[in-house]
Amino acid sequence: MKELRTIIITGANSGLGFETAKKIAADHQYRLVLACRDLQKANTAKEEIVKISGNTNIECLQIDTSSLKSVEEFVEEFSKNHDSLYGLINNAGISGMHSGKSIDGVEIVMATNYLGHWYLTNLLLEKYHVKKIFNITSDMHNPPQGLKWRPVKDIFYSDNSDRTAYPYSKLSFIYFSKELQERLDKEGKGTLVNSFNPGMMQTNFAGGPMPKARVNFVKTMMPERFGDLDKSSTALATLMMDDSLNIKAQYFDRSVNYKNSSPLSYEIKNQKELWDYTAEFIKEWRKNK
Ligand SMILES: NC(=O)c1ccc[n+]([C@@H]2O[C@H](COP(=O)([O-])OP(=O)(O)OC[C@H]3O[C@@H](n4cnc5c(N)ncnc54)[C@H](OP(=O)(O)O)[C@@H]3O)[C@@H](O)[C@H]2O)c1
At 117 the pLDDT is: 99
Q: Is the pLDDT of residue 197 over 90?
A: yes
Confidence label for 1 from pLDDT (cuts 50, 70 and 90): low
The whole-chain average pLDDT of the chain stands at 96
Question: How many residues are present in the chain?
Answer: 289
What's the rounded mean pLDDT across residues 55-63? 98
Q: Is the pLDDT of residue 225 over 70?
A: yes
Q: Is the pLDDT of residue 8 over 80?
A: yes
Lining ligand 1 with CB less than 6 A are 10-11, 13-17, 36-38, 41, 63-66, 91-94, 112, 136, 138, 198, 200-201, 203-205, 227
Question: Catalytic: 157?
Answer: no
- Nearest CA among 138, 199, 204 for reference residue 173: 138
Q: Is the pLDDT of residue 42 over 70?
A: yes
pTM for the structure as a whole: 0.98
Q: For ligand 1, atom 45, which residue shows the shortest CA distance? A: 93
At 200 the pLDDT is: 92
Q: Is the pLDDT of residue 25 over 90?
A: yes
Amino acid, single-letter form, for residue 6:
T
Give the ligand 1 atom nearest the CA of 67. 31
How far apart are the C-alpha atoms of 149 and 158, rounded to whole Å?
13
User: 10 alpha carbon to ligand 1 midpoint, in Å?
Assistant: 9
What's the rounded mean pLDDT across residues 130-144? 97
How far apart are the C-alpha atoms of 34 and 36, rounded to whole Å?
6
At 210 the pLDDT is: 75
Backbone angles phi, psi at 30, to 5 degrees: -110, 140
What is the tens place of the pLDDT at every residue in 249-261?
999 999 999 999 9
- Nearest CA among 80, 87, 83 for reference residue 61: 80
At 206 the pLDDT is: 85
Set out the domains of the chain in order of their start, with CATH numbers.
Answer: 5-288 (3.40.50.720)
In the chain, the percentage of residues whose pLDDT exceeds 90 is 93
Q: Is the pLDDT of residue 192 over 80?
A: yes
Q: Which of 13, 37, 113 to mutate to test the pocket of ligand 1 (most atoms within 8 A of CB)?
A: 37
How far apart are the C-alpha atoms of 137 and 90, rounded to whole Å?
9
Neighbours of 67 (CB within 10 A): 20
- Nearest CA among 63, 284, 262, 249 for reference residue 153: 284
Q: For ligand 1, atom 42, which residue shows the shortest CA distance? A: 11
Q: What share of the chain is helix, strand, coil (3-state, %, to 5)?
A: 50, 15, 40
Question: In this predicted model, which residue has the larger pLDDT, 213 or 146?
Answer: 146
